Amino acid sequence: MTINKIREELFGRLKEPKKTRATGDHKVDIEIIKYLWTPIEGDETIMYFFCSGCGNIVSVTPRFAKVLAREAGGKIPREPKKYYFRSGRCGECDSQNNSIELLPIPQMNA
């Protein structure tokens, strides 16, 4: 039996993930982002990324935050957990909007 056959028996046949249709009109639910800050041991998340194209929310590590901040035209803020990135697209959707912004999380900066 080949290694690929064994993998298929154990895990099933893997398929290429489908791209999510981007409508471009998704709005971030700030309460979800606030809820996501429940501490998890070993988690490297320092910020979150929201895709307005498909509504996806992704955790952001320090390394990824540097890249996103550069794309947004700035630096990682002093208190990164009080901010999030909003973009018009992500790796999971078919949007063509490449915009990216660094925005404060309302009520966390008060």
Are 60 and 45 in contact by the 8 Å Cβ rule? The answer is yes
In a domain, 51, yes or no: yes
Q: Work out whether strand 83-87 and strand 47-51 pair parallel, antiparallel, or are unpaired.
A: parallel
Question: What is the span of the domain harbouring residue 35?
Answer: 19-104
Exposure on the CB side of residue 62, measured as CA atoms within 13 A:
4
Closest to 33 in 3D by CA, of 99, 84, 89, 67: 84
pTM as predicted: 0.65
Alpha carbon 51 to chain centroid distance?
A: 7
In a domain, 14, yes or no: no
In a domain, 92, yes or no: yes
Identify the pLDDT of residue 89: 85
**Domain count across the chain:** 1
Tens of pLDDT, residue by residue over 27-50, are 777 676 666 655 555 678 898 888
In a domain, 30, yes or no: yes
Identify the pLDDT of residue 57: 84
Exposure on the CB side of residue 57, measured as CA atoms within 13 A:
16
| pLDDT-derived band at 109, boundaries 50, 70, 90 | very low
In a domain, 11, yes or no: no
In a domain, 6, yes or no: no
CA distance 94 to 53: 8
